[in-house]
């Protein structure tokens, strides 16, 4: 899961990044409204935007307005000052999905982030079932026939992306985008290696990751 944080309070941003990375997300951070706007125009691979409204250079509400005007429906969690009821209402009217008044407890934010990302991916439930394979998005645990599969953080990330798009082609570039933060060097070759390892661990019975030559991968649908 890939998250963009737009927050000019560095201490708060650091805390958010630590928490969300600890939960297995790839997290990028910008500290102004204009940077947030630019990042959201360039990449459509974010699973969630955490948006502070009081941002320098472009107000958070303007960032949100422009985002939705481009037809981008990425889930947005806005961060507001505790007393700014008006901003909160405006934000929700402009298409924010949820809000957190500051100050907030990080575990609560983490829970809301999980719920928003699940909803955004079209999975209201925390468990994704795929034949004998089950993936718990909340606990980040995969089981095969009820037995836990030992997967690295990268492999879990890959599996999550593929499961969220079962039956659809996911390109290597998309995988790199979904899994890696800015400045992280992960080549397409590395993706091949991760896929190879993941296959060895989960390809049992009807579970199969198909290679679409030159294009990418697809977790094949299971009939019935
Ligand atoms: Ca601020």
pLDDT digits (tens, 9 = 90+) for 18-45: 999 988 889 999 999 999 999 999 887 8
Ligand 1 centre distance from Cα of residue 101 (Å):
12
Q: Is the pLDDT of residue 144 over 80?
A: yes
pLDDT given at position 214: 83
The rounded mean pLDDT for the chain is 90
**Distances in whole angstroms, Cα of residue 146 to Cα of each of 50, 87, 129, 198, 203:** 35, 47, 11, 17, 15
Please state, in angstroms and rounded to a whole number, the distance separating the CA atoms of residues 47 and 51.
13
**Please, are residues 26 and 178 in contact by the beta-carbon 8 Å criterion?**
yes
Is the domain of 27 the same as that of 112? yes
The Å distance, Cα 111 to ligand 1 centre, comes to 22
Å from CA of 217 to ligand 1 middle: 40
In the prediction, which pLDDT does 224 show? 61
Residue range 56-77: mean pLDDT, rounded: 95
Residues found in the chain = 224
Give me the residue label for tokens 């290679």.
211
> Within this chain, do residues 99 and 154 fall inside the same structural domain, yes or no?
no
Instruction: Give residue 8 CA to ligand 1 midpoint distance, Å.
Output: 5
Q: How many Å lie between the centroid of ligand 1 and the Cα of residue 76?
A: 16
What are 171-186's pLDDT values in tens digits? Answer: 988 888 888 877 777 7
- What is the Å distance from ligand 1's center to 10 Cα? 9
Ligand 1 center–CA 12 separation, angstroms: 10
Residue 198 contacts residue 210 (beta carbons within 8 Å): no
Domain finish residue from 88, 120, 152: 120
- Identify the domain boundary among 98, 120, 142: 120
pLDDT of residue 205: 83
Q: Is residue 25 a contact partner of residue 49, using CB atoms and an 8 Å limit?
A: no
Average pLDDT over residues 44-54: 92
Determine the distance separating the centroid of ligand 1 and the alpha carbon of 81, expressed in angstroms.
9
Q: How far is CA 61 from CA 18, 41, 218, 224, in A?
A: 25, 16, 37, 45
Quote the ligand 1 centre to 198 CA distance (angstroms): 41
Tens digits of residue pLDDT in 183-218 = 777 788 888 999 999 999 999 889 999 999 888 999
Whether 181 maps to a domain, the answer reads yes
- The span from the CA of 73 to the CA of 92, in Å, is 13
Reported as a single tens digit per residue, the pLDDT across 68-77 is 999 898 999 9
Give the CATH number, domain containing residue 179: 1.10.10.10
Domain boundary among 120, 140, 156: 120
Q: For residue 123, is pLDDT > 70?
A: no
pLDDT at 125: 67
179 CB-near residues (< 8 Å, 6+ apart)? 2, 26, 154, 157, 158, 161, 186
pLDDT higher at 220 or 140: 220
CA of 85 to the centre of ligand 1 (A): 16
- The total of structural domains in the chain comes to 2
* Residue 224 resides in a domain: no
Select from 69, 68, 96, 70 the least CA-distant residue to 84.
96
Same domain membership, residue 89 and residue 167: no
Given this model, what pLDDT does residue 188 score?
80
% of the chain with per-residue pLDDT over 70:
98
22 CA → ligand 1 middle, Å: 23
pLDDT over 80 (residue 82): no
Sheet holding 127-130, edge to edge: 127-130, 133-136, 141-144, 147-149
Q: Measure 55 CA to ligand 1 centroid, in angstroms.
A: 5
Q: What is the CATH number of the domain that holds 48?
A: 3.40.50.2300
Residue 140 belongs to a domain:
yes
Mean pLDDT of 94-102: 93
Q: Which of 140, 136, 173, 106 is nearest to 25 (CA)?
A: 140
Q: What pLDDT does residue 23 have?
A: 84
Domain identity same for 51 and 78: yes
Same domain, 213 and 144: yes
Q: 16 CA to middle of ligand 1, Å?
A: 14
- Determine the distance separating the centroid of ligand 1 and the alpha carbon of 184, expressed in angstroms: 27
């Amino acid at each position: 899961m890939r998250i963009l944080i737009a927050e000019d309070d560095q201490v708060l941003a650091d805390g958010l990044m630590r928490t969300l990375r600890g939960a297995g997300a790839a997290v990028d951070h910008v500290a102004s409204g204009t940077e947030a706007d630019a990042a959201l125009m360039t990449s459509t691979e974010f699973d969630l935007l955490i948006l502070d409204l009081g941002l320098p250079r472009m107000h958070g509400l303007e960032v949100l307005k422009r985002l939705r005007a481009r037809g981008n429906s990425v889930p947005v969690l806005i961060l507001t000052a505790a007393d700014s009821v008006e901003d909160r209402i405006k934000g929700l009217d402009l298409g924010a999905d949820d809000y957190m008044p500051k100050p907030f407890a990080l575990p609560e934010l983490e829970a809301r982030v999980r719920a928003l990302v699940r909803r955004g991916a079209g999975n209201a439930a925390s468990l994704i079932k795929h034949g004998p394979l089950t993936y718990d998005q909340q606990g980040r645990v995969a089981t095969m026939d009820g037995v836990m599969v030992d997967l690295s953080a990268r492999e879990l990330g890959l599996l999550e992306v593929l499961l969220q798009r079962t039956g659809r082609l996911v390109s290597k570039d998309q995988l790199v985008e979904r899994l890696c933060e800015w400045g992280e060097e992960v080549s397409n070759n590395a993706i091949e290696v991760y896929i190879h390892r993941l296959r060895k661990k989960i390809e049992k019975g009807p579970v199969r990751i198909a290679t679409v030559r030159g294009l990418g991968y697809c977790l094949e649908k299971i009939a019935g």
